[in-house]
Amino acid sequence: MLYRTLFAGAALINAVGAWTPPKEVEEAAKASHWAVLIAGSSGYGNYRHQADVCHAYQIMIKNGIDPDKIITLAVDDVANDDMNPFPGKLFNKPTGDGTPGTDVYAGCKIDYSGSMVTPETFVKVLTGDAAGLDGGKVLQSTKLDRVFVNFVDHGGVNIIGFPRTTMHARDLVAALTKMHSAAMYKELVFYLEACESGSMFTELPSDISVYATTAANAHESSWGTYCMPEDKVEGKHIGSCLGDLYSVTWMEDTDNQSPAAASETIETQTERVKRLVTKSHVQVFGDTTISSELITNFEGDTDSAGQLDTSLAPMIARAAPQRDAAIRSNDAALASAYFRFTEMGSAAAGEELVALVQARLSTRKTFEAVAQRLGLNGGIEALPPRAHGAQHVDCHYDVHKAYKSACGELHPEALSFSATMADLCAHQGGSPDAIVKAISAVCAA
């Protein structure tokens, strides 16, 4: 009504002389909404990550974001995997016998797939750098625009995973800071699903208009949900977790609010998710003033103020299935391979299970040797518990870099050993020197 009145007035004034519309009217007319959605894993055991991201894509489309302004990264190897009982489809929620599921893969446009799903591509997309992306989409947002980022994958202390590599917290925060310096958004909201994801934003500035929530704190796993044996769609086992607890909770909240989502704020959604995700501790970082805005200002295309709705009752009843069928995210792929081997008779899943266990044991053996070289005769078990908040990010960055150089990248199923790097940094008082030397010696042997 305000805009119609202003522009009606403009027509009248233009009849008698020049008129310049108020600045806020011009900016409202030019503002856009963008979304960047990333599933950082590969393999059927990580089905849930690609299902989460395609569900998020459907939400963005339903709530009015222009498809040209949604950028999606996913390896895209799950929907058509030989193990999928529904070829070409993905489901983010189970259904009973004879009840069709909602295929979130239908119409889910993936812009970067396969080997293009890397930290480098992610940073280029965020910072609007199209160089080397063969004409692929990048953010072209401006200081007038709102940006929503949703990352889903494995993680560890100060790292998030990609199919063949990892991204450090320092690099993620640097990319967001660069976006702010380049005036690439008015406000940005970031939802991060990963184990120990609360470690990723401990150094996020509070004055760059970024609001971030994470599935877990810096010391715990996030959780897969709708897992075996409750992974059935139309009576058929999928053989993998269908979603992640934090991700499914915020997305089902958004789905269940529609078309009344315009009454819910980011703060309301965050509080609901905190209340319902009982197996990990959802965290909040950055500019919390953004939380008073509507969820559809970021998960859609509205530009409105909101009122806090503290009613949690509608979500309580829907939380029970998620809690009952949850598995620690860092064990979910192992559980999937075990179920597919023992219950579905897949020999390939048996080989996958052995490989995953061996990768984790091999990484553990490496860190046991590093700990021994640092004088910890009891190995990594002798490390004292790291104090909450003691991240030693600079030390961890150097140790992580040294490990990648000397030993190779951490296996996706062994990212939990990033916590061991943080524990070693705490043991060494934040100095990386002795740890780097020990890693080099162990992996050169």
Instruction: Give the chain's count of helices (H) and strands (E).
Output: 13, 14
C-alpha span between 239 and 251 (Å, rounded): 22
Reading the chain (445 residues) residue by residue, the pLDDT tens digits are 333 343 444 444 344 445 455 555 555 557 899 999 999 999 999 999 999 999 999 999 999 999 999 999 999 999 999 999 999 999 999 999 999 999 999 999 999 999 999 999 999 999 999 999 999 999 999 999 999 999 999 999 999 999 999 999 999 999 999 999 999 999 999 999 999 999 999 999 999 999 999 999 999 999 999 999 999 999 999 999 999 999 999 999 999 885 544 579 999 999 999 999 999 999 999 999 999 999 999 999 999 865 545 454 454 444 434 456 899 999 999 999 999 999 999 999 999 999 999 999 999 999 999 999 999 999 999 998 776 666 789 999 999 999 999 999 999 889 999 999 999 999 999 999 999 999 999 999 8
**Using CA atoms, how far apart are residues 331 and 230, in angstroms rounded to an integer?**
16
Same domain membership, residue 91 and residue 155: yes
Same domain? For 393 and 423 the reply is yes
Residues 191 and 267 in one domain: yes
Residue 369 placed within a domain: yes
Contact 390, 426 (CB under 8 A): yes
Whether residue 434 sits in one domain with residue 312 = no
**209 shares its domain with 320:** yes
Note whether 323 and 346 are within 8 A (CB).
no
Distance CA 94, CA 233 (A): 5
> How many CB atoms sit inside 10 A of residue 22's CB?
10
Amino acid at 375: G
318 and 360 both lie in a single domain: no
pTM > 0.85: yes or no: yes
Contact yes or no for 174/54 (Cβ under 8 A): no
CB atoms within 10 A of CB 80: 11
DSSP state, residue 86: S
In a domain, 15, yes or no: no
Catalytic residue among 33, 49, 55, 154: 154
Domain range for 361 is 346-444
- List 54, 108, 195, 425, catalytic entry: 195
- CB proximity list for 196: less than 8 A, separation 6 or greater: 155, 156, 157, 216, 217, 218, 219, 220, 221, 416, 418, 419
Is residue 41 located within the same domain as residue 127?
A: yes
Instruction: Indicate if 33 belongs to the active site.
Output: no
**Has residue 424 been placed in a domain?**
yes
Q: Are 266 and 174 in contact (CB under 8 A)?
A: no
CA end-to-end span of the chain:
73
210: phi then psi, degrees, rounded to nearest 5? -120, 130
CA dihedral 124, 129, 134, 139 (to 10 degrees): 80
CA distances from 293 to 146, 253, 301 (A): 11, 16, 12
Distance in angstroms (rounded) separating the CA atoms of residues 228 and 294: 35
Residues 151 and 260 in one domain: yes
Mention every residue, 6+ apart, whose C-beta is less than 8 A from residue 279.
223, 245, 323, 326
Residue with the two structure tokens 């030390």: 395
Q: Are residues 436 and 355 in the same domain?
A: yes
Instruction: Read off the tokens for 109.
Output: 């446009």
Tell me how many domains the chain contains: 2
Q: Decide if 154 is catalytic.
A: yes
Q: What is the pLDDT of residue 413?
A: 86
- For residue 368, what are its two tokens? 């046991």
Q: What is the DSSP letter of 149?
A: E
Residue 19 domain-assigned? no
Strand-pair category, 159-161 with 146-152: unpaired
Give domain status of residue 337, yes or no.
no
**pLDDT for residue 388:** 64
Which amino acid, residue 150?
A: N
Check residue 64 and give its pLDDT.
Answer: 95
Is 9 contained in some domain? no
